[in-house]
Amino acid sequence: MSLTPSNWHYNITQVSEITGLSKQVIRKWEERYQLVQPERLENGHRVYSDKDLQLLLKVRGLSEQGYSIKQAAIIAHEQNTSKGSIIPSITPMNEEMNDFCLLLLEKGVHCDETELNRLLQQANHSLGLSKFLSHVVIPFLKEVGNRWEKKEWTEYQEAVSTMVVRDYLVQLRRNYHYKEDAPLIMGACLPGEYHEVPLHILLLQAMMVGWRSFLVGSSPAIGAIESLVTQFQPKVVLLSAMTTTPFELHPTVLQQLDVFASKYPSIRFFIGGAGSVEYLKNHPLHSIAVASTIEEIMSSI
């Protein structure tokens, strides 16, 4: 059996690891609600397809929204047979999940760095960089974070999966070809913020439309961002705070950067991340704009 995205098959242990459902629950849903109909090997073992996994994930997502399993199974089957029956309340993750994400989750359970890296390479080469970022990296990281928050994954499982993705994105950025006279975009986490993967994604997306990039990295020293902006004079500066930790550790850091940005009207400053959005509800800025996608940033410069 060749490992092409259309014909990957999984045993029940793999399905359990990928979906977060126990083997007992999978068998129960299969028998009671005819949710999936796995093939049987000669030895009697079940073999599940990627469509089976999609159905199980959809039912799980719907049940978490309050639907009974019976209701969720009916809705999932309808969605699977009719394009017009999509329910708006279904979580985006279930709609975005694909074969590469499913296999990455399986390897993430076991913290298999080698296989995680191999799958990332395969996904990138198969889909191209743009779809790789939007269809694999982003939904995979969302699900990793979701499972960690629900305590379905340990901190170590979350850390290993995120680290492998980060290292692969670093490699892509370093090897990406750009023109020497391309405009410079600079990314930086705020002091106290260590989640830099979103910046790697945004910088790669900017490089795909003709920019060269520079990343300050996670939790820079106080004053480092201002110093590097002064030194390199980028056209755009992206600031990121995925958590509120930077504002708890350094209450005035963003206001200081806002004042600094006002002194450089030719440089566009943006900030994004859940932590910054939460903080900015009560702390408006004057010279730094809020943005969450590269499209928002590119369309405003």
Domains present along the chain, CATH in parentheses: 1-97 (1.10.1660.10), 103-175 (1.10.1240.10), 178-299 (3.40.50.280)
- In angstroms, how far is the first alpha carbon of the chain from the final one? 50
User: Per DSSP, which regions of the chain are E strands?
Assistant: 9-10, 39-40, 46-49, 184-189, 212-215, 236-240, 268-272, 288-290
- What number of CA atoms fall less than 13 Å from residue 37's CA on the CB side? 2
Measured at the alpha carbon of residue 20, what is the angle toward residues 19 and 25, in degrees to the nearest 5?
90
Q: Note whether 268 and 211 are within 8 A (CB).
A: no
Instruction: Compute the chain's Rg from CA coordinates.
Output: 22
Q: Note whether 70 and 92 are within 8 A (CB).
A: no
- The strands making up 9-10's β-sheet, listed across from edge to edge, are 9-10, 46-49, 39-40
DSSP string, 175-238: H----TTSPEEEEEEPTT----HHHHHHHHHHHTTT-EEEE--SSPPTTHHHHHHHHH--SEEE
Q: What is the pTM of this model?
A: 0.74
Q: What is the pLDDT along the chain (301 residues), one digit of tens a residue?
A: 334 444 557 888 888 888 888 898 898 888 888 888 888 887 878 888 888 888 888 888 788 777 888 888 888 777 665 543 333 333 333 444 677 898 899 999 999 999 999 999 988 988 899 999 999 999 999 999 999 999 999 999 999 999 999 999 999 999 999 898 999 999 999 999 999 999 999 999 999 999 999 999 899 999 999 999 999 999 999 999 999 999 999 999 999 999 999 999 999 999 999 999 999 999 999 999 999 888 888 888 7
What CA–CA distance (Å, rounded) separates 198 from 67? 33
Residue 135's pLDDT is 92
What CA–CA distance (Å, rounded) separates 104 from 258? 39
The tokens describing 271, both together, are 């900030």
Q: Note whether 136 and 98 are within 8 A (CB).
A: yes
What CA–CA distance (Å, rounded) separates 194 from 118? 25
Q: Note whether 267 and 235 are within 8 A (CB).
A: yes
Cβ neighbors of 11 (< 8 A, separation 6 or more) are: 45, 46, 47, 48
Q: Note whether 121 and 113 are within 8 A (CB).
A: no
Q: Note whether 240 and 196 are within 8 A (CB).
A: yes
Closest CA to 146 of 30, 229, 60: 60
